[in-house]
Amino acid sequence: TELVRRIKRYQIANSSCLLVKYIKDDRYSSEEVSTHDRHTCPAVATANLYSLSATAKKYEVIGIDEGQFFPDCVKFCEEMAN
C-alpha cells in the first residue's frame, strides 16, 4: 500500500515512474501492483531487475514491489541510485 501511495504521489508531481513487480506474483494481476484493498498501479513484471536496466535509466523514480524476491535487488538499486 505504501509503495503504491508513493508512486502515485510522484506521478502527481509529474515525475516519470517505473514500478516493477516479481513475475511470479500474479495474485491480482500480471500487469499491475495491487494493494490488499485493490488500489492498483501499472507495473512491469520481471524475474531479474538487470533485464530492465536500459528501460529503468529512462525514469526518475523506480519502485520495486517485493524486492526480497529479486536476487540482484541490492546491486541494481545501488547502481540505479548512482
Number of domains in the chain: 1
Told to judge if 66 belongs to the known catalytic residues of this protein, a careful annotator would answer: yes
pLDDT of residue 52: 96
Q: What is the CATH number of the domain that holds 76?
A: 3.40.50.300
Task: Give the per-residue pLDDT at 37.
Answer: 86
Structure pTM? Answer: 0.90
Catalytic residue from among 2, 31, 32, 66: 66
67 is in which domain, residue-wise? 2-81
List, for residues 52-71, the tens digit of each pLDDT value: 999 999 999 999 999 999 99
State the pLDDT at residue 43. Answer: 96
For every residue of 5-48, DSSP letters joined together read: HHHHHHHHTT--EEEEEETT--SS-SSEEE-TT--EEE-EEES-
Counting as low any pLDDT under 70, the low residues of the chain are none
For 61, phi and psi rounded to 5 degrees?
A: -125, 130
